[in-house]
Structure 1
Amino acid sequence: MRPRVAAAAGGAIALLVALGACTKNTGEGASVDTERQQTGVIATDPKDSMGPAPAVDGAQAGGTFTVIRETPISHLDPQRTYSFAGLMAAPLFARFLTTWKDDGKGNLVLVGDLAETPGSNVNDDCKVWEFKIKDGVKFEDGRPVTAKEIAYGIARSFDPDLSGGPTYLQEWLADTPQYDTRWDFKANRSALPPGLTTPDDRTLRFEFAKPRCDLPFAVSLPATAPLPPDKDTGVNLGNAPFSSGPYKVTRYQAGVEIVMERNEHWDPDTDPVRHQYPDRFVWSFGPTPDAAANRVIADNGADQSALSWNYVPASLVARVAGDAALRPRTVLSPTPSANQLVINNQRVTDLKVRQALNYAVDREGLVKVLGGQNIAAPMTTLMPSATIGYQAYDAYPAGPNGDPEKARELLGGQTPELVLGAADSSVEQQVATQLKGNLERAGFKITIRNIPDDAKLEEIKKKDNPWDLYLGSWAADWPSGASILPVLYDGRSIKAEGNSNQAYFNDPAINAEFDRILTLSPAEQGPEWAKLDERIMKEHAPVVPLYVDVAYLVHGSKAGGVFVSSVFGYPSFVNAHLKP
């Protein structure tokens, strides 16, 4: 998202963000291309974190809202939730220390959810944080939510049996990636991990060995959902989570259906973002994306009140986009999910070769192969435009279709022979074939080697993998460069397997910049991440930025209030309701 730090106003520290030449999402269809200015703020006035959430125009109470999705949500345990579907379902039944006010039009405000504010930086050094917990927040059985249940929820995330969720809090508290070796949850169930305390029922305190200035963002993830110890069913919690949100899970049929109904103990006066319009939400699993979209397009019976979770399939984009009657039932929005041609910097060591790769790519042609502008939008930066501090630039200006002559000039008569590892899925094969053509017209010789789709991610995370190039993607956990650049490009994190730094890029000067910027406040970090983004590309070209995903959704005629999350790029249900 885009640059500058504005002065505090109305109790909020403004972090100016922008999306250039993107698609506006109105939340109700009527999608148009526009220049969109997007802003993100961290609220400092407690009033911003108070409920109730503003009423949604035209919304009425009652009815069943259905979400149709091909694959099931693996489980609903908040401490293990990390999939997009899980992240968007969790706010219906769980509350977190902080959360995002998001209007789907580019305006983001980080507010207190369980907490009265997004946290207090006690000593102004980002090492000690306190959160005051709101009065009036209750579990589904009516008992109050206190700091102790929130702390217990965080503590259980240290249990290695409960893997799958984010590990920021565990690693920061333990001051090591091997957090479960520093503190054993099973042996200390009545205690708390190092650095986490509850001075009283309404105070949660974090103490870190190093500055953790992004903590207010990190605690917006479901790992901070509260849980009473007597309701902890371990690995089975995902089948019947204990609600603190506006809905509670009343039916969980693995792989088939999840039903959530109103939680009568949820108090809207404590909740700044959620509503409780439908009587129930039903998640229905099984239909393919094509089948789900066709059902919703047909708009019969219960499907009038349904949303097809998956983006409109490429096979149906032309039909949906060309039908004026469907326009009010579509939502079109850019997302924060960025895609790159990742260069294995251990194998491709010549900077001019990496720069030539950047000049060679025809992004416009690639977008056409993917299905057009309703599927993808070209990008030339490491951070997507939906990032605090984003600045547009093009380090290797090659126009929309690439500049093969400039690439050949950089190669200086060389014909680099590179191996492109590609998943054996149809989409990735199409993209790989397109890129092979781009690169070979620019003087490269490219061999495509197929990787089983379900094994690809694990394989490219191995340091000694055998490929020079592969397709990669990244969606940040919050819209800050802190959850993108250090994660993907800090060479000190490289290990034998399980690497997020799949470019295997390592530069001491860049690593030092990561350390410096991470000690700054989030407001100060934004412009610094933007500068570093451009520096990394100009000095090192570790990857070729390709495109951001575009969300294109279709829903039934009676489904309202759905918008694309500015943080995660998938449908949000906090405003969902049914129309007459």
Structure 2
Amino acid sequence: MRQRAAVAVGGAFVLVSALSACSANTGGEPQVDTGRQATGVIATDPRDSAGPAPEVAGARRGGTFTILRETPISHLDPQRTYSFAGLMTVPLIARTLTTWKDDGEGNLRLVGDLAETPGRDVDDDCKVWEFRVRDGVRFEDGRPVTAREIGYGIARSFDPDLAGGPTYLQEWLVDTPQYDTAWDFQANRTSLPPGLTTPDDRTLRFEFARPRCDLPFAVSLPTTAPLPSDRDTGVDLGNAPFSSGPYKVTRYRAGVEIVMERNEHWDATTDPVRHQYPDRFVWSFGPTPDAAANRVIADNGADQSALSWDYVPASLIARVAGDAGLRARTILSPTPSANHLVINNARVTDLRVRQALNHAIDREGLVKVLGGRHVAVPMTTLMPPATIGHRTYDAYPAGPDGDPDKARELLGGQRPELVLGAADSSLEQQVATQLKGNLERAGFTITIRNIPDDAKLDEIKKSGNPWDLYLGSWAADWPSGASILPVLYDGRTIRAQGNSNHAYFNDPAINAEFDRILTLPPTEQSRQWAELDERIMEEHAPVVPLYVDVAYLVHGAKAGGIFVSSVFGSPALVDAHVKP
């Protein structure tokens, strides 16, 4: 175990990163705040994890807060939740072992939620972890939450019938990606998976075969939401979740509406992040992004306390951005979602060709095609700025418009013929056409081959696929390089299909670095992930970083307390309230 290099400040290990944090626009021309320096911390002082959450200035109890969204939420079953909408909604009805304090300005602190702290590394080797369950947390029927219900929630995530959620804990506990065959939940419903024990009602213990230093982050995901075994309705749980949070589902109309009202057994003194301001939250599904945005812009009736969940559509950006009266009702924020031109390294094996692709890209032209700075911000790193420890660099400086001369110099008279696989959606076709133009200006010959939009992700996850280039995006599950670089670039994970390593990049020295860094405590990892990010790009150029998505949201005049999550890049609801 290496000496921990981080300094404890104010009861927290501090890890500094540059983060383009969210900005509520209160006047003047809307701007994306790209210069703010943000901090991410793992709280070490139990007082940081104590409730109640600080009151939100100007907030009051009462009213109905409405969220308008075109498509339904995939799952409200916590163990199956993995969409952004779900990850932002489930915290209202389910608590997890840890959670994030997020001030909406990029300042993050990982604290205990169901647990009193973010966990204890028992032997200081990241292999054995214990969490002390806080007293006073209750389910919606009034019974207390204990370690057994948390353990049962984790156990049910092994059920292949309940697939769809994160799989970190399952894979780590049985030390294999084939977790559902390594331990059979259906045959062991009264027991816990290997490595997970409950020594008493208030202690949850994890024992791993190898170091899992990012466990405090991983247990912030809904996999650790508690559930009594007698309330498990299997695949139907998402229709009527059993609440441990400040709200409970009182009406569920599939694809139409979800109504959540106050859980009278929630105790604010046990909760470090949530509030219970509105009488109810209503999710209303169906309105297109244009229709939802126009409704909250009109600001009539119930829509005064509504949020249009989907970003402001391209057709309305100019109108919303140009209306000074709407600026107090918009939020503009870069997100942690990073977009790359992925290079299939199994096909494009010449490093100089991959470097030339990086020099050729016209990022400013691409941002204009996407809709401008209200939609995207250029990026030159593998990890987005929202990542703890992020460091800005540009391994292939080409200016905002690309450097075709340098690209041609690297190609040395060659004119590589590359196939760009593009989804047949209108937006991706526009982007592919823009990329084709500026790459051909730099000496490439590009053929665009269309892929059905609903099949593209599955197809590029197949090794041996027939494309040299394709567009890819990634949003990490927590803001650490551990949930980005090894996931996307560890060549040992490449299999016939289902690959997250879409670049099919495999370098033994880089793989060894993944193993080394993952054994370090998070306080030491962040700087080294940033260094490895730069090393991968300089030595291998496996992809071309393109841009970070920007969230541009509009809400009614009485909708308060909304900010963009620094972790997931979607609207956070924990501070939401209805203004008088």
Please classify the TM superposition score into its range, dividing by the shorter chain length.
over 0.9
The answer (yes or no) to whether the contact 1:494–1:504 under 8 Å persists in 2 is yes
Matched, 1:115 2:115: yes
Q: CA deviation at 1:24?
A: 4.7
Q: Where do residues 134-213 of structure 1 align in structure 2 (5 Å cutoff)?
A: 134-213=134-213
Equivalent residue letter for 1:116: E
The 3 A distance-change label for structure 1 pair 510 and 235 is: same
1:309-340 CA deviation, whole Å, 9 max, x = no partner? 01111111111000000000000111000000
The answer (yes or no) to whether the contact 1:152–1:226 under 8 Å persists in 2 is yes
The answer (yes or no) to whether the contact 2:18–2:37 under 8 Å persists in 1 is yes
Tell me the equivalent position of 2:507.
507
Q: Where do residues 59-458 of structure 1 align in structure 2 (5 Å cutoff)?
A: 59-458=59-458
Equivalent residue letter for 1:163: A
> Whole-Å Cα distance in 1 between the matches of residues 528 and 180 of structure 2?
33
> Whole-Å Cα distance in 1 between the matches of residues 458 and 405 of structure 2?
36
> Whole-Å Cα distance in 2 between the matches of residues 32 and 59 of structure 1?
26
Equivalent residue letter for 2:528: E
> Whole-Å Cα distance in 1 between the matches of residues 162 and 415 of structure 2?
49
The 3 A distance-change label for structure 1 pair 5 and 27 is: farther
The answer (yes or no) to whether the contact 2:32–2:374 under 8 Å persists in 1 is no
> Whole-Å Cα distance in 2 between the matches of residues 546 and 26 of structure 1?
25
SS at 1:525 equivalent: helix
Equivalent residue letter for 1:143: R
> Whole-Å Cα distance in 1 between the matches of residues 528 and 25 of structure 2?
32
> Whole-Å Cα distance in 2 between the matches of residues 530 and 185 of structure 1?
39
Tell me the equivalent position of 2:23.
25
> Whole-Å Cα distance in 1 between the matches of residues 73 and 25 of structure 2?
24
The answer (yes or no) to whether the contact 1:151–1:192 under 8 Å persists in 2 is yes
> Whole-Å Cα distance in 2 between the matches of residues 27 and 260 of structure 1?
29
User: Identical aligned pairs, as a percentage?
Assistant: 82
The answer (yes or no) to whether the contact 2:138–2:144 under 8 Å persists in 1 is yes
The answer (yes or no) to whether the contact 2:422–2:432 under 8 Å persists in 1 is yes
> Whole-Å Cα distance in 2 between the matches of residues 7 and 32 of structure 1?
34
The answer (yes or no) to whether the contact 2:6–2:524 under 8 Å persists in 1 is no
> Whole-Å Cα distance in 1 between the matches of residues 153 and 26 of structure 2?
36
The answer (yes or no) to whether the contact 1:482–1:518 under 8 Å persists in 2 is yes
1:148-197 CA deviation, whole Å, 9 max, x = no partner? 00000000000000000000000000000001111100000000000000
> Whole-Å Cα distance in 1 between the matches of residues 504 and 7 of structure 2?
39
The 3 A distance-change label for structure 1 pair 117 and 435 is: same
The 3 A distance-change label for structure 1 pair 252 and 286 is: same
The answer (yes or no) to whether the contact 2:343–2:469 under 8 Å persists in 1 is yes
Tell me the equivalent position of 1:545.
545
Q: CA deviation at 1:26?
A: 3.7
> Whole-Å Cα distance in 1 between the matches of residues 579 and 238 of structure 2?
31
> Whole-Å Cα distance in 2 between the matches of residues 438 and 484 of structure 1?
28
Q: CA deviation at 1:6?
A: 4.9
1:49-105 CA deviation, whole Å, 9 max, x = no partner? 111100000001100000000000122000000000100010010000000000110
Tell me the equivalent position of 1:483.
483
The 3 A distance-change label for structure 1 pair 118 and 97 is: same
Tell me the equivalent position of 1:533.
533
> Whole-Å Cα distance in 1 between the matches of residues 398 and 8 of structure 2?
40
> Whole-Å Cα distance in 2 between the matches of residues 27 and 210 of structure 1?
46
Q: CA deviation at 1:389?
A: 1.1
Equivalent residue letter for 2:324: A
> Whole-Å Cα distance in 2 between the matches of residues 102 and 474 of structure 1?
21
Q: CA deviation at 1:29?
A: 7.8
Equivalent residue letter for 1:400: P
Structure 1 range deviating more: 72-81 or 32-41: 32-41
Q: Which runs of 5+ in 1 are unaligned?
A: none
SS at 1:455 equivalent: helix
1:253-304 CA deviation, whole Å, 9 max, x = no partner? 0000000000000000000000000000000000111111111111111111
Q: CA deviation at 1:27?
A: 8.0
Equivalent residue letter for 2:355: Q
Q: CA deviation at 1:33?
A: 4.7
Q: CA deviation at 1:560?
A: 0.4
Tell me the equivalent position of 1:459.
459
> Whole-Å Cα distance in 2 between the matches of residues 450 and 510 of structure 1?
33
Equivalent residue letter for 2:23: N
Tell me the equivalent position of 1:468.
468
Q: CA deviation at 1:9?
A: 1.4
TM-score by length of 2: 0.98
> Whole-Å Cα distance in 2 between the matches of residues 286 and 538 of structure 1?
46
SS at 1:398 equivalent: coil
SS at 2:258 equivalent: strand
The 3 A distance-change label for structure 1 pair 29 and 460 is: farther
Equivalent residue letter for 1:44: T
> Whole-Å Cα distance in 2 between the matches of residues 309 and 89 of structure 1?
12
The answer (yes or no) to whether the contact 2:488–2:502 under 8 Å persists in 1 is yes
Q: CA deviation at 1:41?
A: 0.4
Tell me the equivalent position of 1:58.
58
Q: CA deviation at 1:28?
A: 6.8
> Whole-Å Cα distance in 1 between the matches of residues 255 and 301 of structure 2?
23
> Whole-Å Cα distance in 2 between the matches of residues 362 and 257 of structure 1?
43
The answer (yes or no) to whether the contact 2:21–2:104 under 8 Å persists in 1 is no
> Whole-Å Cα distance in 2 between the matches of residues 572 and 33 of structure 1?
18
Tell me the equivalent position of 1:560.
560
> Whole-Å Cα distance in 2 between the matches of residues 124 and 40 of structure 1?
21
SS at 2:500 equivalent: coil
The answer (yes or no) to whether the contact 1:6–1:16 under 8 Å persists in 2 is no
The 3 A distance-change label for structure 1 pair 111 and 29 is: farther
Equivalent residue letter for 1:101: K
The 3 A distance-change label for structure 1 pair 29 and 518 is: farther
Q: CA deviation at 1:18?
A: 1.5
Equivalent residue letter for 1:175: D
How much is the aligned-residue C-alpha RMSD, in angstroms?
Answer: 1.1
Equivalent residue letter for 2:161: D
> Whole-Å Cα distance in 2 between the matches of residues 211 and 375 of structure 1?
39
The answer (yes or no) to whether the contact 1:88–1:571 under 8 Å persists in 2 is yes
> Whole-Å Cα distance in 2 between the matches of residues 90 and 120 of structure 1?
25
SS at 2:36 equivalent: strand
Equivalent residue letter for 1:398: A
SS at 1:513 equivalent: helix
> Whole-Å Cα distance in 2 between the matches of residues 42 and 562 of structure 1?
24
The answer (yes or no) to whether the contact 1:26–1:105 under 8 Å persists in 2 is no
> Whole-Å Cα distance in 1 between the matches of residues 226 and 238 of structure 2?
14
The answer (yes or no) to whether the contact 1:28–1:560 under 8 Å persists in 2 is no
The answer (yes or no) to whether the contact 1:134–1:202 under 8 Å persists in 2 is yes
Equivalent residue letter for 2:158: F
The answer (yes or no) to whether the contact 2:32–2:334 under 8 Å persists in 1 is no
